Structure 1
Amino acid sequence: MTTSHETDRVTDSILLETIDKVRELNINQHVPLTQLVVISDQSSGKSSLLETATGLPMEHDVELCTRFATQITSRRDPESRVTVTIIPGPNASDEHKKRLSCFTFESLTIENFREQLPTIFKQANVAMGIRTDTNASDGKIFSKVVLKIEKRGPDEDYLTVIDVPGIFRNINEGVTTPEDIELVRDMVKQYIQDSRTIILAVLAGNVHIDNQEILTLASQYDPTGERTLGVLTKPDLVTEPSEKQRVCDLVLGKKKPLTLGYYVVKNRGPDETLALWKADKTLELAPWSSLPKERVGPGALRTRLRELSEQLTRREFPKICKQRLYLGTIARNFQDTVKAALNGWYSDEDGFQKLTMRLITNVVNLSDDFYDGFRMSSHLHKFQDTGDTAQPMAPNGLDLRLRDYGCNTVKELLGRTGLGSYPELEGIVCMDDTLKEPKEDAVNWIYDMYLRSRNMDLGTFGGNVFSMAFRNQSTKWDHMTKSYLSKAILLVHLFITDALNIACPDTQVKEILWSEIVEEILARYKAAMDQAMLLVRIERHKRPYTLSKGFSEKLQLAQGRRTAALVKVAGRSYKPSSPAPDDDYDDEIAVNPDAIKTASANQSNVQRTTQEIHDKLRVYYDVALCRFVDNVFQQSVDYCLLTGPSTPLAVFDQDWVIKLEAKRLKAIAGESKASESRRGILEGKVRDLTAAIEILM
């Protein structure tokens, strides 16, 4: 069974190989590519380090190998072999490209490569037009073409490093000129100036770091040291204890710290056999043995270089192969899906067979469930039933079955979706929907509350008592509303992630795009939740009041029914001679007015006030509940989450893509310069980019 780590490694290898193919087309002259570049002063042990890092034998006495850049690549393959080719320079003519394409060494073994290395470099110099005879007057000393050495094998891990000529200060009469010094410096700068380049600065451990120009040069383009990795070589030549401590201080980050840190490596010497080098115990001795193991030795360095290469490529790959038009197309497809989901235009071909995609249906069902739950359970105490709130039932219970279907579907969806898969929602939503049933007998609770709050009155109560009663009775509104909004947010979040998967099948682009928009999406979720909590505070903590004419009508109805109950108790019943078909009573009541007076007189001021508070609270609670639930749905769910201008569904749209800054756009989709200025582009540049796109497809 293939593990997730192995799958990621395969994916990274494919991406890295694609990057190399694009690099060979010189696309880096148009779009900066991810790369690891080795730079150094002369005689710092760079050639030895390359052999250590790549496992390829590099002859240290082949001086001309430093006259051009060398790309060394390791790739995993069932067959072991080494291939050497030349990548033309960015301005090479078609004729020169054709001539360089004839230079190739294929299917070499490691030993063949070692034996033929002098010949390989000599022929490469000739093909590149580099002067090999110090007495010759024609030809150049350095070239901008790249020698590519590719090593394949079943045990190889993917790694690509680019070696550039070492910086030098002294002129070699008859060989180099002052112009060559600047040419090499410019070549090094060209490779390290882009933010996508990891700089491997090779530093001789036996030379004081302040005397090594290469780190100063690297700091010009990486002032914070975020993409520079220092490699300290020749630890066996560091003899003085103070100098050893100086090197250790660098590795431990005590001096000239780099974000990527320093590594200590003992390379194979010019006259040292491979067996002797492998048996060398220098790094096992103090003080090197006291350094962190992950910072010492060729194995640790190779592991770190591979990790950096994979991380850099995975992060930067979308930046070189996508354009604003591509991102805009993704945004348009996403918004088309949003529109269909909000209007209920479901089509199985568009992914709506998945339950999470049926957004408006899920939200409506959830909201119906919220309304029903609020009516049944949001009050802290059960009101006394006066018989004025009977709910009509549809024929054969059809409405109930539809409601159960909708509620159960949403519950099933939310039940199998935990927040563990969406940690970004923590702190915004609360999925705890546990709720206690309303307590019995609101009348007794109001009676006790009134006794604790009454003043010198004659059976009346002030607004403060009523406000306190309503605030207490609506205690559960906060929790129930937060639970409802949390579920609505989760439904929207599930939809966005699934809709984005459909609109953007490219996993790499989608991950980077998501990292760009998720912060704003979460902010809009929070705004919806804040709006709901504001509505809770307004309803529960303001002075209870309503302009609804329904309040007066329902209150009169409740009071009339209470009076009717007194009449029924005080009167006597008899069968009517011709009962009305819609009469609510089995019997008609014969009333003695004096008996009604007696029944009313038996109530104390406290009892009568308690009943009055109860009836007003019950009617007002019903009015406020309907108003509140509707406001929460309209303002927090519909307006904030679904259809308003600040809905999270609108974060990623074509306007967002159009307004995206160039730097951020490249960070997501890697728009090339060709797409920014299509008119007037050189024909050769168009061909290069077209060829790159064909590779990337």
Structure 2
Amino acid sequence: MTLKQDTTSITTSISNPTLLAKVDQLRDLNIGQHVPLPQLVVVGDQSSGKSSLLESLSGVPFPKDQNLCTRHATQITSRRDKDECVHVRIIPGPRASEDHKKQVEAFQTKVSSASEFRDKFVDILKKANEKMGLRTDLSSGHGGAIFSEDVLKIEVHGPREDYLTIIDVPGIFRTTVHGTTKDDMVMVKNLVKRYIRDDRTIILAVLPSNVDIATQEILELAEEYDKNGKRTLGVLTKPDLVMEPTMRASVCDLVMGQKRPLTLGYFLVQNRSSDDGVKTVSELDQGLRIQPWSDLPKDRVGILALKEQLQSLLLDITRREFPKLVQDVASQIRQCTVELNKLGPSRQDEREQRSFLSRMAGIFQDRARAGLAADYNAHSSFNQTDLRLITHVVNLTDVFNADFQRLAHSRHFSSLEESQPLESPEPSDAGDRSESQSGLSVDTLRVLLEESGVDKISPKEQMELAEILVLPKDIPMPNEGFTDWIKEVYLQFRGLELGTFNPNLLSVAFTEQSRKWGDMTRIYMSRIIVTVHRFIAATLRSICPEEPTRIQLWAEILEGLLDCYRKAMAQADMLIQVQQRKQPYTLNRQFAADLSKSRGHRITALLRPKAKEDRRFAEPQYMVNLDDIAEAAEGKHNTELLQEEIHDILHAYYNLALDRYIDNIFQLAVDHSLLHGPDSPLKVFTQDWVLNLEARQLEDIAGETISEKKRRSRLSKKITDLHNALKILKSRDSY
């Protein structure tokens, strides 16, 4: 037997079904998994009368066959329309695979009348269960799952339908029967929790009147998410099975709010039993006009009263939550867009990957140019210390120059100034009190460099640059006794020269005097290399926040960087060898001028004892007899004269070579090899380099991981769905 639809129309109809229709459209898009939707959800234990209640409210004749009991959520929507028809389809669950989505979304059934639908519903339900992959026979231990997260949507249209949407979920059970397992028990409970946890859900807790309410787990579950009972409505079923007066009184106490009160209260309804004949909703409600049910408030008894209340609740919560729903959807779009932007541009294929890396390489080169030009306003990232490239290089070079002038010679040269004795060593701390080329105190620059941590090599840098770097070490102060040392060298290299000396002596002496140049230069070069290396790493961190991509890119360019550093070090080594191993020679006219000046100082020193002051002038003037000039050097031995000549030549050449060497080290080994030249490490990561990468390399560097691809796909799909939802919510179209 089938249930006849009641022809009595509920007097209170929905005055504005548009909002409710929009919410149903959002539910069709599965927006509920992202944003809570206003909804009525029917929950209860198995055998609580849930299916009968739904049948009474909607006219949908749920079968009593155990194999076809509620094993998935069912959304029943009634819509007033001039034409009568019923649409049935499946909304895939939130965790459904793409293949499963295609399979269940292909299920579409439409019947032209409610009566035809009642006749075909059992067959439709069986086919829907098959599409969901559910087991057809619960008693068999195989053949598919017992429960599904998919939603069966039944949409009933007709001229006498009132707008109402109710969602039914599987009943909670405590024992494993009919092929169910403990995992099924947990799944069903979690499914119920997922539907009732949101504040926009009205919970219809179905409770048999003939069972002690204290034993009903569904109320405890509802209290877990609705602690104050503000959105839980109790529906008491099966009053015809309550025989004892005390039990009937207990039911009346619930309806009257005198026992376990709920803000939305309790309703008492009579549903059709399995052995009833054809009964309308009105006929079922008539059965409640007996004592003690007839003494209860009329608006709390019967299907018609409950249905009217549900319509009102659904509309009220939808109206109240609608503005916030629009805000939530818009907020979700913004959040998802931020997350998607963090993933960067899509890199699904070779073209996208090459484009992605090319753009990054272009940005890198822009930052490199800005770092070399000290254009630190080019981007906010230049606030990082490691990105102030040229400033660190200049400061390091100024300190290197000051240290080189102070410490690079093995022995102090003798001072030949008139006002000083013949041999007066330079103060050992002269460099500390000196100024750099920029006019800044060298001590100030040392503090700046120490704060930048240029000598604090990290374990990662040590591992990457171990074969290249020369770690800092103490450089000894120059020794004294240059004259005695020159004498010793001269005696070791004397030959049969007449009035002159072995030219190889100058080469040996210069090599000894400049023997610290190599160590000091390699330490300086190492500091510059660390500075450049850190700049490149910091720049990549600022333009490529995705660590996996950055790690792969770094691995690809690292060997190229190391090769550039090796070449720069090799350039410095070549300059060291050129200075130390070649015969001293120069065409610079400054050499002759400095040598002449030294000779003049020596002659002046010899003539000073014989000079006589001429008092005819205001300023002191000294007169020398011409004959004294010829006799001035007569008292010196030829060896002493040659040693003085060697000293003066070496001194003049050393000063000239030192300045030339410092310039060459900076210009050729630093500026050309490490900063601006074609083989600079700053030019390893360029757009041309990207263009020459093979497909495999592109995939290794820029290709998205499986998890990233899934995340991008999920975010893109979510944003699309949310945008569609926002269009629906903001649409002015009437339903």
Taking structure 2 as the reference length, what is the TM-score of the superposition? 0.49
Measured against aligned partners, the alpha-carbon deviations of 1:239-261 in whole angstroms (never above 9, x if no partner) come to xxxxxxxxxxxxxxxxxxxxxxx
* CA distance in structure 2 between the aligned counterparts of 1:378 and 1:648, rounded to whole angstroms: 29
1:562 is aligned with what amino acid?
R
* CA distance in structure 1 between the aligned counterparts of 2:380 and 2:100, rounded to whole angstroms: 47
Question: Which of these residues, 502, 514, 521, is aligned with residue 554 of structure 2?
Answer: 514
* CA distance in structure 2 between the aligned counterparts of 1:96 and 1:387, rounded to whole angstroms: 106
2:582 is aligned with what amino acid?
K
Query: What aligned pairs does 1:273-422 form with structure 2 within 5 A after superposition?
Result: 323-347=353-377, 349-387=379-417, 400-414=439-453, 417-422=456-461
* CA distance in structure 2 between the aligned counterparts of 1:115 and 1:641, rounded to whole angstroms: 77
Query: What aligned pairs does 1:4-83 form with structure 2 within 5 A after superposition?
Result: none
* CA distance in structure 2 between the aligned counterparts of 1:495 and 1:377, rounded to whole angstroms: 29
Task: Judge conservation of contact 1:393–1:399 (CA < 8 Å) in 2.
Answer: no
- The Cα of 1:354 is off from its aligned counterpart by 1.8
Task: Judge conservation of contact 1:419–1:426 (CA < 8 Å) in 2.
Answer: no
1:531 is aligned with what amino acid?
Q
Question: Which of these residues, 95, 99, 104, is aligned with residue 88 of structure 1?
Answer: 99
Measured against aligned partners, the alpha-carbon deviations of 1:561-607 in whole angstroms (never above 9, x if no partner) come to 2212222233234556222xxxxxxx422223344444311111111
- The Cα of 1:411 is off from its aligned counterpart by 3.2
1:541 paired to 2:589? no
2:466 is aligned with what amino acid?
E
CA separation of 1:103/1:320 partners in 2, compared to 1, >3 Å: closer, same or farther? farther
Task: Judge conservation of contact 1:570–1:596 (CA < 8 Å) in 2.
Answer: no
> Which residue of the partner structure matches residue 612 of structure 2?
572
CA separation of 1:505/1:463 partners in 2, compared to 1, >3 Å: closer, same or farther? same
1:591 paired to 2:621? no
* CA distance in structure 2 between the aligned counterparts of 1:605 and 1:90, rounded to whole angstroms: 106
Taking structure 1 as the reference length, what is the TM-score of the superposition? 0.51
* CA distance in structure 2 between the aligned counterparts of 1:100 and 1:629, rounded to whole angstroms: 85
CA separation of 1:599/1:495 partners in 2, compared to 1, >3 Å: closer, same or farther? same
> Which residue of the partner structure matches residue 489 of structure 1?
529
> Which residue of the partner structure matches residue 646 of structure 1?
679
Measured against aligned partners, the alpha-carbon deviations of 1:155-196 in whole angstroms (never above 9, x if no partner) come to xxxxxxxxxxxxxxxxxxxxxxxxxxxxxxxxxxxxxxxxxx
Structure whose CA Rg is larger = 2
1:431 paired to 2:474? no
Measured against aligned partners, the alpha-carbon deviations of 1:101-132 in whole angstroms (never above 9, x if no partner) come to 996689xxxxxxx99972426999xxxxxxxx
Measured against aligned partners, the alpha-carbon deviations of 1:533-559 in whole angstroms (never above 9, x if no partner) come to 011001110111111111111111121
> Which residue of the partner structure matches residue 694 of structure 1?
716
1:118 paired to 2:158? no
* CA distance in structure 2 between the aligned counterparts of 1:100 and 1:518, rounded to whole angstroms: 58
Task: Judge conservation of contact 1:454–1:461 (CA < 8 Å) in 2.
Answer: yes
1:500 paired to 2:540? yes
* CA distance in structure 2 between the aligned counterparts of 1:670 and 1:362, rounded to whole angstroms: 35
> Which residue of the partner structure matches residue 135 of structure 1?
none
Measured against aligned partners, the alpha-carbon deviations of 1:647-674 in whole angstroms (never above 9, x if no partner) come to 00111111111111111111111289xx
> Which residue of the partner structure matches residue 76 of structure 1?
none
- The Cα of 1:328 is off from its aligned counterpart by 1.6
Task: Judge conservation of contact 2:403–2:431 (CA < 8 Å) in 1.
Answer: no
2:503 is aligned with what amino acid?
G
Measured against aligned partners, the alpha-carbon deviations of 1:56-85 in whole angstroms (never above 9, x if no partner) come to xxxxxxxxxxxxxxxxxxxxxxxxxx9984
Query: What aligned pairs does 1:596-615 form with structure 2 within 5 A after superposition?
Result: 596-615=629-648
Measured against aligned partners, the alpha-carbon deviations of 1:384-420 in whole angstroms (never above 9, x if no partner) come to 1124999999999996545443343123323562242
* CA distance in structure 1 between the aligned counterparts of 2:129 and 2:369, rounded to whole angstroms: 53
- The Cα of 1:459 is off from its aligned counterpart by 3.2
Task: Judge conservation of contact 1:319–1:668 (CA < 8 Å) in 2.
Answer: no
CA separation of 1:693/1:520 partners in 2, compared to 1, >3 Å: closer, same or farther? farther
CA separation of 1:416/1:452 partners in 2, compared to 1, >3 Å: closer, same or farther? closer
Question: Which of these residues, 461, 465, 482, is aligned with residue 505 of structure 2?
Answer: 465
SS of 1:323 mapped into structure 2:
helix
CA separation of 1:610/1:507 partners in 2, compared to 1, >3 Å: closer, same or farther? same
CA separation of 1:354/1:123 partners in 2, compared to 1, >3 Å: closer, same or farther? closer
- The Cα of 1:442 is off from its aligned counterpart by 1.6
Task: Judge conservation of contact 2:371–2:390 (CA < 8 Å) in 1.
Answer: yes
2:716 is aligned with what amino acid?
E
SS of 2:622 mapped into structure 1:
strand
Task: Judge conservation of contact 2:399–2:436 (CA < 8 Å) in 1.
Answer: no
CA separation of 1:439/1:343 partners in 2, compared to 1, >3 Å: closer, same or farther? same
* CA distance in structure 2 between the aligned counterparts of 1:493 and 1:87, rounded to whole angstroms: 46
Measured against aligned partners, the alpha-carbon deviations of 1:263-293 in whole angstroms (never above 9, x if no partner) come to xxxxxxxxxxxxxxxxxxxxxxxxxxxxxxx
Task: Judge conservation of contact 1:571–1:590 (CA < 8 Å) in 2.
Answer: yes
* CA distance in structure 2 between the aligned counterparts of 1:622 and 1:691, rounded to whole angstroms: 68
> Which residue of the partner structure matches residue 28 of structure 1?
none
* CA distance in structure 2 between the aligned counterparts of 1:459 and 1:560, rounded to whole angstroms: 19
Task: Judge conservation of contact 1:489–1:525 (CA < 8 Å) in 2.
Answer: yes
Question: Which of these residues, 635, 656, 659, is aligned with residue 692 of structure 2?
Answer: 659
- The Cα of 1:613 is off from its aligned counterpart by 0.5
May I ask how many residue pairs the two structures share in their alignment?
401
- The Cα of 1:432 is off from its aligned counterpart by 2.0
Question: Which of these residues, 493, 503, 524, is aligned with residue 453 of structure 1?
Answer: 493
Percent of aligned pairs sharing the same letter: 31
Task: Judge conservation of contact 2:434–2:441 (CA < 8 Å) in 1.
Answer: no
SS of 1:435 mapped into structure 2:
coil
Task: Judge conservation of contact 1:382–1:440 (CA < 8 Å) in 2.
Answer: yes
Task: Judge conservation of contact 2:541–2:550 (CA < 8 Å) in 1.
Answer: yes
Task: Judge conservation of contact 2:613–2:623 (CA < 8 Å) in 1.
Answer: yes
> Which residue of the partner structure matches residue 668 of structure 2?
635
Measured against aligned partners, the alpha-carbon deviations of 1:468-506 in whole angstroms (never above 9, x if no partner) come to 111111101110110110010011011111111001111
Task: Judge conservation of contact 1:665–1:671 (CA < 8 Å) in 2.
Answer: no
- When the two chains are superposed, the root-mean-square deviation of aligned CA atoms in Å is 4.4
1:551 is aligned with what amino acid?
F
User: Gaps spanning 5+ residues in structure 1: where?
Assistant: 1-81, 107-113, 125-148, 154-316, 580-586, 673-686
SS of 1:88 mapped into structure 2:
helix
* CA distance in structure 1 between the aligned counterparts of 2:467 and 2:492, rounded to whole angstroms: 39
Task: Judge conservation of contact 2:614–2:621 (CA < 8 Å) in 1.
Answer: yes
Task: Judge conservation of contact 1:83–1:104 (CA < 8 Å) in 2.
Answer: no
* CA distance in structure 1 between the aligned counterparts of 2:440 and 2:353, rounded to whole angstroms: 50
* CA distance in structure 2 between the aligned counterparts of 1:350 and 1:327, rounded to whole angstroms: 22
* CA distance in structure 2 between the aligned counterparts of 1:527 and 1:398, rounded to whole angstroms: 28
